[in-house]
Amino acid sequence: MAGSSEAFIQMKIFLSLFLALGLSAAAADRPNILFIMADDHAAHAISAYGSKINQTPNLDRIGNEGMRFENCFVVNSICTPSRAAILTGKYSHINGVTVFNRFDGRQPTVAKMLQKGGYHTGMIGKWHLTSNPTGFDYWNVLPGQGQYHNPNLIEMGKTNKIKGYATDIITDLGIKFIQDRPKDKPFFLMLHHKAPHRPWEPDDKHAHMYDDVDIPEPATFNDDYSHRASAAKVATMRIDVDLNKKDLKQEPPPGLSAEALKKWKYQRYIKDYLRCIASIDDNVGRVLDFLKKEGLDKNTIVIYTSDQGFFLGDHDWFDKRFMYEESLRMPFMVRYPGKIKPHTVSDGMILNVDFAPTFLEYAGLPVPPEIQGHSIKPLLEGKKPKDWRTSMYYRYYCHPSEHTVNKHYGVRTERYKLIFYHDLNEWELFDLKKDPHELNSVYADPKFADVLADLKKELERLRKELGDHDQWVDKPPKSVTGPDAGQ
């Protein structure tokens, strides 16, 4: 009897060892996914993207050790809608988050699918979708916009005030999530920074960075908005007139000319913006070092992106919303050693709705047919499919609202961009090759008649394919008040 019980125990030990090995093999087979997203970080403030105004050595590590995308675009350039598009892999008119409205967390999301498929899922940092996160084993998020200093964070429904700087805290919590994870499962972590969102409050460490230098002004700093639709002229996000006291944080020196005051305001704005990014860069470096130390660097896909682009004084603006390049383009860099070739750059046109299906494909899970984006895994493996998209559809809904950017939709191809401000009944057409700064609309130029006809056809084709039949056109933006207000 004693012998058979011993044999039974031995068999149990053998079986548990076998199971544990099997499970860790399964975890090793499937990569961890660390999705790091900043808020309002324009690609042209990353040195890997050729920034003329700052250096981001740690962010560049992701691009240098993997692939950098030159043409990653957002389908609706504003915080809350971009987050909903990323989670669902669907455009705003399908996922229901066109403005700052509440995300219906009952709908399918990539987090839910990965969780169901055996991933340990986490969401840390800026959530900004009003409803509580769903599909996450662990979540700890800022309420609404959150604070830069000593922020409140809501951990699985319980609010805690945490001392310190948001970017450091979010990073600490991300590292802790990875440390505490169940080791028999791969993890999926959405690590979302608040920075560098307005009002651009740096930490003490970087408060005096750039004190003694002048940051170069962008080429379109003195744009006068002529030769375009009227939307640009009426937008209230100008460096010279629309930055407020909270943004500037200092009184301007007395007696400045209008031109000198505008230059002074730009320096105040851009230096604080870049200081916030310097802290992100340090903290991303900290996460990358941690992964290496833990031996997780080989089997973790690390992504760095931002929820949209941003105007860095371009066209005399801060903020985003327009379909113009600076706001439309997202930084997107991915490293996955052994699977993605280092130092590679892709010009493939990818969108924020592509992220969800990409994660699912890497996790070996099916991509539901309702998902509108496409997995970019082939591009990451250096194989651009022949039928990969060469045009994208964009739509912005949030008007009337802060910054008074008129509603618009449009199509961008590899060469051209057509924008329709439907409330104004005004169009813009840009030849991005000849006019990369989008200063001169050629919509009325007869030389572009054929191009225009093709683009209008393409725009209608995309609208039909994606199911946008103006179902949200008469719905005014819903303002979310209280701690969730903002964008």
Binding site for Ca ion (CB under 5 A): 39-40, 79, 307
Task: Please give the backbone phi and psi of residue 40, each rounded to the nearest 5 degrees, phi first.
Answer: 75, 25
Bridge partners (DSSP) listed for residue 160:
153
In the bound state with Ca ion, the residue whose beta carbon lies nearer, of 307 and 354, is 307
**Least distance to Ca ion, CB of residue 333, Å:** 18
What minimum distance in Å lies between the beta carbon of 308 and Ca ion?
Answer: 5
For residue 310, which of 295, 329, 293 has the smallest C-alpha distance?
329
Residue nearest to Ca ion (CB): 79
Question: How far apart, in whole angstroms, are the C-alpha atoms of residue 190 and residue 136?
Answer: 10
* Non-local CB neighbours of 288 within 8 Å, separated by 6+ positions: 58, 61, 62, 297, 302
51/305 with CB nearer Ca ion: 305
Residue 432: CB minimum distance to Ca ion, A = 23
Burial of 147 (0-12, 13-18, 19+ CB in 10 A): middle
The dihedrals phi and psi of 62, each to the nearest 5 degrees, come to -65, -45
What are the DSSP E strand ranges found in 14-132? Answer: 32-38, 67-69, 72-73, 120-126
**Nearer residue to Ca ion within complex by CB, 100 or 336:** 100
CB of 147 vs Ca ion, minimal distance in Å = 16
When the beta carbons of 39 and 242 are compared against Ca ion, the nearer one is 39
Q: Which amino acid, 109?
A: T
Shortest Cβ distance from residue 79 to Ca ion (Å)? 3
Closest distance to Ca ion from the beta carbon of 439 (Å): 25
Shortest spacing between CB 139 and Ca ion, in angstroms: 19
CB contact at 8 A, 299 and 395:
no
Cross-strand pairs, 305: 37, 332
Contact at 8 Å (CB) between 127 and 148? no
Minimal distance, residue 120 CB to Ca ion, in Å: 27
Q: How far apart are CA 266 and CA 37, in angstroms?
A: 25
Nearer to Ca ion, 79 or 111 (CB): 79
**How many angstroms separate the CA atoms of 411 and 459, rounded?**
6
Q: Which is nearer to Ca ion, 201 or 428 (CB)?
A: 201
Distance CA 404, CA 386 (A): 40
Q: Which is nearer to Ca ion, 81 or 135 (CB)?
A: 81
Smallest distance from the beta carbon of 376 to Ca ion, in angstroms? 21
Q: What share of the chain is helix, strand, coil (3-state, %, to 5)?
A: 35, 15, 50
Give which of 403, 415, 483 is closest to 454, Cα–Cα: 415
Output 31 or 81, the one with its CB closest to Ca ion: 81
Nearer to Ca ion, 315 or 374 (CB): 315
Contact 345, 379 (CB under 8 A): no
Return the H-helix or E-strand segment holding 306.
strand 300-306
Shortest Å distance, C-beta 40 to Ca ion: 4
Closer residue to Ca ion (CB): 40 or 60? 40
Question: Among 92, 69, 116, 142, which Cα is nearest to 372's?
Answer: 92
**DSSP code string of 348-380:** --EEGGGHHHHHHHHTT----TT--S---HHHH
In whole angstroms, the minimum distance from the beta carbon of 307 to Ca ion comes to: 4
Q: Which is nearer to Ca ion, 115 or 308 (CB)?
A: 308
Closest CB to Ca ion among 16 and 236? 236
Q: How far is the CB of 264 from Ca ion (least distance, A)?
A: 26
Q: For residue 190, give the nearest of 131, 114, 294 by alpha carbon.
A: 114
